[in-house]
């Protein structure tokens, strides 16, 4: 079963929004109008846009937009909050190594660091 369904409301993420890193930013919500064998379609500004069914990335020359379910967005926000909490302890990730840890693992490391800071 696909994670996409007709009538499902999803977030429309743009690659440029990630540069802002504003935690209060909420991406626009769109409704899926058609789910095919390989593509998912939405209507935005009166035009139909096609996205890949497997990855949710827009099928155009730029590939700058992607669909994201509410659950995926919540997980991403939780992960970003955990990384920000870790950064406050002065620990940063090397480029490319960020996704090797889950939000729960990062939160456990932060709890450990908080315990040491209290002593």
Assigned domain for 62 exists: yes
- Alpha-carbon gap, residue 63 to 56, rounded angstroms: 10
Domain count, the chain: 2
Assigned domain for 1 exists: no
Q: What is the pLDDT of residues 66-84, one digit of tens each?
A: 999 999 999 888 888 888 8
Assigned domain for 18 exists: yes
Q: Is the pTM of this model over 0.85?
A: no
Whether 19 shows a pLDDT value over 70: the answer reads: no
Q: What is the pLDDT of residues 30-74, one digit of tens each?
A: 999 999 999 999 999 999 999 999 999 999 888 889 999 999 999
CB atoms within 10 A of CB 58: 21
Whether residue 81 sits in one domain with residue 52: no
3-state SS, one letter per residue, for 1-44: CCCCCCCCEEEEEEHHHHHCCCCCCCCCEEEEEEECCCEEEEEE
| pLDDT score for 18 | 62
Whether residue 62 sits in one domain with residue 79: no
């Amino acid at each position: 079963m696909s994670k996409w369904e007709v009538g499902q409301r999803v977030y429309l993420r743009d690659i440029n929004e990630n540069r802002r890193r504003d935690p209060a930013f909420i991406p626009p919500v769109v409704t899926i109008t058609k789910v095919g064998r390989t593509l998912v379609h939405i209507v935005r500004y009166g035009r139909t846009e096609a996205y890949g069914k497997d990855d949710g990335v827009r099928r155009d020359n730029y590939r700058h937009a992607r669909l994201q379910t509410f659950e995926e967005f919540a997980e991403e926000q939780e992960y970003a909050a955990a990384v920000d909490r870790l950064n406050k302890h002065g620990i940063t990730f090397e480029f490319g190594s960020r996704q090797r840890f889950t939000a729960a693992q990062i939160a456990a490391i932060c709890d450990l660091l908080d315990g040491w800071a209290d002593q």
